[in-house]
């Protein structure tokens, strides 16, 4: 059974550029698992050798760009390079499509404390909730988990002599950042270190309206019937 948010997201994206049509659950659940070029000397990045204190300009695990191959054949939203360049700003394109990394502490959402939901910059796909955002001290937006695991896939990144876990949106293939295991222990222990340039923020009030607009009619009818039944029993 689809989770409510997954069903809503499926209903939200109907047609896209470059002739792509409807997309469904399989397109979101298939993670790109291709590995980057092997390095002769690698260091596994974990809580023993990464910290949450990346300063501006640090060539740290979370401050380096990625060098992985994302299987775009598994994505549902497909656009030509020219279309991506037209849709995104130069910074968004460099980060989301070229797997770059924006400067720490000099990006849009690292210090954003507003209540709402962060979508992929390349599609109407809700990725992270502000309720799961925390202060990591890294200068990039950090989250303990995605809204739905089906929306965020991981690929092993072996660039720069390290083994990292690159994360990207399964729907449009946008590079998001990396995930490390030095997050809050009481909330699963993960830290999704995400680039602001790969995100677009929607305030909670607007998100609630978006959910209502894109909720499949069958689900909305069932919810209304359940609410009426509960009211009648009071």
Q: Which residues partner with 163 through β-bridges?
A: 44
User: What is the 3-state composition of the chain as percent helix, strand, coil, each rounded to the nearest 5?
Assistant: 30, 20, 50
Give which of 202, 210, 23, 9 is closest to 114, Cα–Cα.
Answer: 202
Could you tell me if 153 and 162 are in contact, meaning their C-beta atoms sit under 8 angstroms apart? Answer: no
**What Cα–Cα distance (Å) separates residue 207 from each residue in 2, 5, 55, 161, 201?**
19, 11, 33, 40, 9
Give which of 16, 19, 32, 28 is closest to 156, Cα–Cα.
Answer: 32
Query: Any idea what the Cα angle at residue 162 is, between residues 158 and 164, rounded to 5°?
Result: 65
Q: Which residue in the list 54, 62, 169, 193 is annotated as catalytic?
A: 193
193 included as an active-site residue: yes
CA distance 129 to 116: 6
**Residue-by-residue DSSP string for 1-62:** ---HHHHHHHHH----STT-----HHHHH----PPPPP-SS-EE-STTT--S-PPTT---TT
CA distance 157 to 2: 30
Catalytic residues: 193
């Amino acid at each position: 059974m689809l989770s409510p948010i997954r069903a809503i997201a499926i209903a939200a994206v109907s047609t896209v550029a470059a002739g792509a049509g409807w997309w469904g659950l399989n397109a979101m659940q298939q993670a790109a698992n291709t590995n980057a070029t092997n390095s002769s000397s690698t260091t596994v990045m974990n809580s023993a050798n990464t910290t949450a204190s990346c300063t501006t300009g640090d060539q740290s695990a979370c401050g380096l760009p990625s060098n992985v191959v994302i299987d775009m054949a598994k994505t549902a939203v497909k656009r030509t390079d020219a279309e991506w360049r037209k849709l995104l700003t130069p910074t968004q394109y460099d980060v989301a499509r070229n797997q770059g990394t924006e400067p720490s502490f000099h990006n849009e959402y690292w210090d954003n404390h507003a209540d709402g939901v962060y979508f992929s910059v390349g599609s109407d796909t809700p990725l992270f909730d502000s309720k799961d955002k925390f202060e990591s001290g890294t200068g990039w937006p950090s989250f303990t988990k995605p809204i739905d695991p089906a929306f965020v896939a991981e690929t092993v990144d072996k660039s720069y002599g390290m083994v990292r876990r690159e994360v990207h949106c399964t729907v449009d293939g946008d590079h998001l950042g990396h995930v490390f295991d030095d997050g809050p222990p009481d909330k699963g222990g993960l830290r999704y270190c995400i680039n602001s340039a790969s995100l677009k923020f929607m305030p909670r009030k607007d998100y609630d309206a978006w959910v209502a607009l894109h909720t499949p009619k069958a689900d909305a009818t069932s919810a209304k019937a359940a609410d009426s039944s509960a009211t009648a029993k009071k």
